């Protein structure tokens, strides 16, 4: 397997517990395992977890986190977009706050750690500060953001986008489960509809000193590298073609010779092979690139083992930390389509194209995290995120942003997510040091 140029390995990596230590295991600290178990009870409906955005299951998760915060005398409130905000003032009340955030909603039948790990980590850091009697240099606000996952309204990061006045255009979108509009769901959870509709920012970017987000890794890289913690270099941008069609001509599988065929399946496979070969060459050149065709089919009413397919439908999802690479792949795809069309006498038709630009994590915050990891002997790698996160929204709005990944087996967006508590506490330790040093 070609090495991923977005990964930089550091230190002698192993399976050891590392230095999370006594602080996270003290009898006065809530146990992370117990918090995740109780959170699961709020919305574990089997298989896995379904905390649908802006529904009672997501609200119950926010209420649970708020109860824990209040138990430790932490300030809590809901912002005008119904996100939960837990606050701990800093040494200088006039200075901007550091935000720590993630989400509590899940995909349908997802896992209990995707998103929730970041909220719990931020909460534990505030509790530790409270119990140790420490006042952080800058005030800290932990956000439990709503609606980060895209399946519910076919768009992502609703809670964080609302903070920056980006949500008004999505009011008419409808929830996949309830059929109600986003406006109706926002009203139901007590959001300030008029304020959100005005597209005014709920917080000015200048009032946020930095944004940190801890999240489970959603792929296998950290498991394969045997490393518990990742410092995220950036979040890959996405060039997506949800629907591409190839049109050829149907025929009998035994009666039409190769040179006279207009085989849509062969043409599609030819194109995908060319794209895959380009991906391999790009990796050999040290470029950051991931390409997926997640959907591929012939018309179900027509396909048959004895029939040359006259049409296919497929998707393409291209990701990179470098926007120029995305643009180059876009050009490559279109040029190769023209070649395959000419050579195989077919026609490709591209539907709507979407581009989400990549976002680099703040270089100063990244350096801060890596130095702290080395100082406290926390094994880590630097790694690009292939998935979108709320951190993209903060970075796009010029808030210095950083992310910490925690090793997680069995992937993400499924009931089998498996984050080891010792890994999680090492991620918490790194986050805590970043907030206090």
Angle, helices 323-344/264-284, rounded to nearest 10 degrees: 150
pTM of the model: 0.89
Q: Which residue do the tokens 């255009």 mark?
A: 169
Residues 143, 88 contacting (CB under 8 angstroms): no
Check residue 135 and give its pLDDT. 95
pLDDT in tens, 346-372: 999 999 999 999 999 999 999 999 999
The pLDDT tens digits for 381-402 are: 999 999 999 999 999 999 999 9
**Domain boundary assignment for the chain:** 8-235+359-436, 237-356
Mean pLDDT by groups of 10 residues along the chain of 437 residues: 58 42 77 95 83 96 97 97 97 94 95 96 97 95 97 95 97 95 97 97 97 96 97 96 97 96 98 98 96 96 92 97 97 98 98 94 98 97 95 97 97 92 96 96
Kindly list the distances between the CA atom of residue 217 and the CA atoms of 79, 229, 235, 265, 418, in Å, as whole numbers in the listed order.
28, 9, 12, 35, 11
pLDDT at 10: 63
Report the CATH fold assignment for 237-356: Alpha-Beta Plaits (3.30.70)
Q: 8-235+359-436 has which CATH code?
A: 3.40.630.10
Q: 84 to each of 61, 75, 95, 155, 238, how far by Cα in Å? A: 10, 11, 21, 20, 29
Tell me, what's the pLDDT at 320? Answer: 97
Residue 23 DSSP SS3:
helix
Coil, helix or strand for 239? strand
Q: Are 295 and 314 in contact (CB under 8 A)?
A: yes
Instruction: Specify the pLDDT at position 21.
Output: 54
Sign of CA dihedral 321, 323, 325, 330: positive
């Amino acid at each position: 397997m070609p090495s991923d140029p977005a990964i930089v390995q550091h230190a002698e990596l192993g399976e050891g517990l590392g230095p999370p230590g006594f602080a996270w295991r003290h009898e006065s600290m809530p146990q992370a395992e117990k918090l995740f178990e109780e959170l699961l009870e709020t919305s574990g409906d089997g298989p896995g977890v379904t905390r649908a955005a802006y529904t009672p299951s997501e609200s119950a998760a926010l209420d649970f986190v708020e109860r824990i915060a209040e138990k430790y005398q932490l300030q809590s409130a809901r912002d005008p977009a119904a996100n939960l905000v837990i606050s701990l003032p800093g040494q200088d009340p006039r200075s901007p706050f550091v935000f720590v955030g993630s989400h509590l909603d899940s995909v349908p039948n997802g896992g209990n750690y995707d998103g929730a790990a970041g909220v719990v980590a931020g909460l534990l850091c505030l509790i530790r500060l409270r119990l140790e009697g420490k006042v952080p240099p800058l005030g800290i606000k932990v956000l439990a953001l709503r609606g980060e996952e895209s399946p519910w309204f076919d768009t992502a990061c609703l809670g964080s986008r609302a903070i920056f006045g980006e949500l008004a255009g999505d009011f008419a979108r409808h929830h996949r489960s309830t059929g109600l509009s986003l406006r109706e769901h926002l009203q139901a959870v007590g959001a300030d509809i008029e304020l959100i509709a005005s597209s005014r920012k709920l917080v000015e970017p200048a009032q946020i000193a930095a944004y940190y987000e801890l999240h489970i890794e959603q792929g296998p890289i950290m498991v394969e590298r045997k490393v518990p913690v990742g410092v995220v270099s950036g979040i890959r941008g996405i060039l997506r073609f949800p629907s591409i069609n190839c049109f050829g001509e149907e025929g009998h599988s035994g009666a039409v010779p190769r040179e006279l065929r207009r085989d849509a399946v062969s043409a599609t496979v030819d194109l995908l092979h060319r794209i895959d070969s380009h991906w391999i060459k790009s990796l050999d050149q040290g470029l950051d690139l991931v390409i997926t065709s997640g959907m591929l089919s012939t018309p179900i009413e027509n396909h048959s083992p004895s029939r040359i397919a006259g049409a296919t439908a497929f998707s393409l999802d291209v990701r990179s930390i470098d926007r120029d690479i995305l643009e180059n792949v876009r050009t490559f795809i279109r040029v190769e389509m023209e070649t395959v069309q000419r050579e195989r006498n077919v026609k490709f038709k591209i539907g709507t194209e979407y581009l989400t630009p990549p976002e680099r994590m703040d270089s100063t915050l990244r350096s801060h995290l890596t130095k702290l990891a080395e100082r406290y002997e926390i094994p880590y790698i630097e790694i690009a995120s292939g998935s979108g996160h709320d951190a993209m929204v903060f970075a796009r709005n010029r808030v210095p942003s950083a992310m910490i990944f925690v090793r997680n087996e069995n992937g993400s967006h499924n009931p089998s997510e498996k984050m080891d508590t010792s890994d999680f506490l090492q991620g918490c330790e790194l986050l805590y040091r970043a907030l206090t040093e």
